[in-house]
Amino acid sequence: MKSISKYFFILILSFSLSARAQQGDTLVFRPSFSLGYDLAGLARNFLEPEVMMHQVTAAYEWQPNWFAAMEAGHMDVGVARETHNYDARGLFFRAGVNYNLFQKNPAMKGDEIFLAFRYGFGWLDHEAPRIIITEPYWGSVEDVFEPAGYSAHWAEIGGGLKTKLFWNLYLGWDLRIRLMLARNAGSEMEPYYISGFGKNEGNTSVMLHYSLYYKFSAGKNRIHIR
């Protein structure tokens, strides 16, 4: 938790310094639209072969430093053990805003240090087609959990960096802290992984995203005076 607290302290400090530097400036602003893919889902598959997740991101900068952001993705989980099998398939959606702490100017080439706020919703269908229960007196008994649905709502806060590689291609990462708001279970079986939230280990989770973006210009230049 100390490293996370230090991370957010640096972001807030950057925000304060940026706000002071921007007072009285004139800014030529061109709205932009970006599409991204989260590479962290592929990396996670190497660490946790049972989980495969794909996520795409869309963001629109409707005014200087403010971005409307949406994220959507798909999750597949397949666990095979000697004592059980577990399968899940789910979708998730997030919506919110990013605020860029960097002042826009040509020398920075679109680089960003940003704060992120999101509302998230995920749902899945999961089942355990084989469960072996070992009982000393009766011996091993095989059972199943029939397919059932599960959904969850949560809030997110975090921040990160985005830097230009070349042309309109950007690379970025961000760290999110997630707080569970509500759950709706269709059976007594708890999911191993909640779509878009992470491992089902409590009401909070921390997730790192590492994404590749392509940015498009989305309108004519506008003059903003601060």
Percentage of the chain beyond pLDDT 90 is 43
Closest listed residue to residue 181, CA positions, set 192, 197, 169, 163: 197
pLDDT at 12 over 50: no
**CATH code of the domain made up of 2-225:** 2.40.160.20
Look up tokens 């979708």; give the residue.
Answer: 91
Closest listed residue to residue 73, CA positions, set 87, 52, 45, 88: 52
pLDDT at 24 over 60: no
In this prediction the pTM is: 0.78
Tens digit of pLDDT for each residue in 75-91? Answer: 999 988 877 889 999 99
* Measured torsion, CA atoms of residues 45, 87, 178, 92, in degrees rounded to the nearest 10: 90
**Average pLDDT, stretch 135-163?**
84
Q: Cα dihedral sign for 96, 100, 104, 108?
A: negative
Tens digit of pLDDT for each residue in 104-138? Answer: 655 556 688 899 999 999 999 998 888 777 767 66
The mean predicted confidence, pLDDT, of the chain is 81
pLDDT at 15: 46
